[in-house]
Amino acid sequence: MKFVGRSAILHGMRIADARHEFPGAPGYLNTAAIGLPPRGAVDALQQAIADWQGGRAQAPAYDEDVAAARGLFARLAGVPVGWVAIGSQVSALVALAITAIPSGSRVLCPDDEFSSVIFPLLVRTDLEVTFVPLESLPGAIGPGVDAVALSLVQSSDGRVADLAAIEAAATDHGVLTIVDVTQGAGWLPFDATRFDVVIAGTYKWLLSPRGTAFMTVRPELQARMQPLYAGWYAGADPWDSIYGPPLRLATNARRFDLSPGWLNWVALVPALELLLDVGVATIRRHNVGLANSLREQLGLPSSNSAIVSLELDPDFDESRLDGIHIAYRAGKLRAGFHLYNTDEDVGRLAEALQG
């Protein structure tokens, strides 16, 4: 009989327990596009809708959900809660972050980076934006580079950036760092204190409604960033900031808050609670293990990513993928494994691809 260690048993039980939160998700391998909401998030959202429809909703009551979600993301990112701003989309938060980059600066980005990271930079004609291969990024950080902006995990193919090397090079040369963790947050542990700005959309691996996002900002950078979208929710006391001057913004990262779409934040809290309860390190072992199982069955080398990107034969019969939810990105099939996936999902996709 094969011996199974206690840690492995606990890991399996935790994933198995969490999977009960996701009824009816066999064959879903498209988390890199849209994550599935856990039962707790759906229940909370349905209750919030019923309260809204029944005239029981009170605007200030949603502040509790926003505050809870902010605190949960702070735990996930490993930062003080005063570093965390809320928003709606990654591109809007990137636009805020790059207000700290002076005119004439040179910004370094990976080739084929996701547009939400680079478009806000490219519309600034006063910046020089340079692209290099992801693997060459740490070595390209040096004199003459003022900032670097990148994704922790590349959306197109799942490659994971060498953040340790990027952080070391940026620290040595005083380079501002902006990291989008949307394709990693929820399955890949990261320490946001190591970077100037970290941004996360929540509708993928964080299993939450689209229209919610977070940004962490180091305190020393907060004074350099311009609160472009300053509104009542960015006030020191939001409910005392709804009429008239003077400008009275929060003194921490809340000054960059975008007014929240209330119902989305109600559903976000249970999703983050579930992920933290299972543990991101545990989820990483599960997700990467499934992805590497697929790679092994297809005769491919193992990787450190939960995303698998595959070239398909031009003659491949796509009808074999019927009932398997995947995506096509950059001309390749892209599958993403999360805590609701199983060995059966791996086997089903491998069989379809090998057919």
In the block, residue with structure tokens 């090998």: 354
Report the C-alpha gap between 179 and 161 in whole angstroms: 10
Residue 25, sorted as left (phi over 0), alpha (psi -120 to 50) or beta, turns out to be: alpha
Retrieve residue 103's tokens.
């005119």
3-state secondary structure (DSSP) of residue 177 = strand
CATH code at 140? 3.40.640.10
Q: Is residue 37 part of a domain?
A: no
- Last residue of a domain, which of 276, 296, 330? 276
- Last residue of a domain, which of 252, 276, 300? 276
Residue 6 pLDDT > 50, yes or no?
no
- Straight-line distance from the first to the last Cα atom of the chain, in angstroms, rounded to the nearest whole number: 33
CATH code at 291? 3.90.1150.10
Structure confidence at residue 3 as a pLDDT band (50, 70, 90): very low
DSSP 153: B
Q: Is residue 168 part of a domain?
A: yes
Residues 216, 79 within the same domain: yes
Report the C-alpha gap between 340 and 355 in whole angstroms: 25
pLDDT digits (tens, 9 = 90+) for 135-189: 999 999 999 999 999 999 999 999 999 999 999 999 999 999 999 999 999 999 9
Residue 18, sorted as left (phi over 0), alpha (psi -120 to 50) or beta, turns out to be: alpha
Do the strands 332-336 and 307-310 form a parallel or antiparallel pair, or are they unpaired?
antiparallel
Residues 21, 96 within the same domain: no
Residues forming beta bridges with residue 54, ordered by sequence position:
none
Which amino acid appears at position 235 of this protein? G
The values of phi and psi at residue 109, to 5°, are -140, 160
**Cβ contact 165:192 at 8 Å:** no
Question: Total structural domains in the chain?
Answer: 2
Give the domain range for residue 293: 6-30+279-354
- Say what the pLDDT of residue 313 is: 84
Residues 237, 176 within the same domain: yes
Handedness of CA 207, 179, 256, 128 (dihedral sign): negative
Residues 119, 201 within the same domain: yes
- pLDDT mean over 194-223: 97
- CA distances for 261 relative to 62, 268, 338, 339, angstroms: 10, 11, 26, 27
Residues 316, 345 within the same domain: yes
- Say what the pLDDT of residue 11 is: 58
Which amino acid appears at position 332 of this protein? K
Retrieve residue 197's tokens.
């700005």
- Say what the pLDDT of residue 13 is: 57
- Identify the CA nearest to 153 among candidates 338, 344, 296, 15: 338
Residues 223, 238 within the same domain: yes
Residues 217, 333 within the same domain: no
Residues 264, 301 within the same domain: no
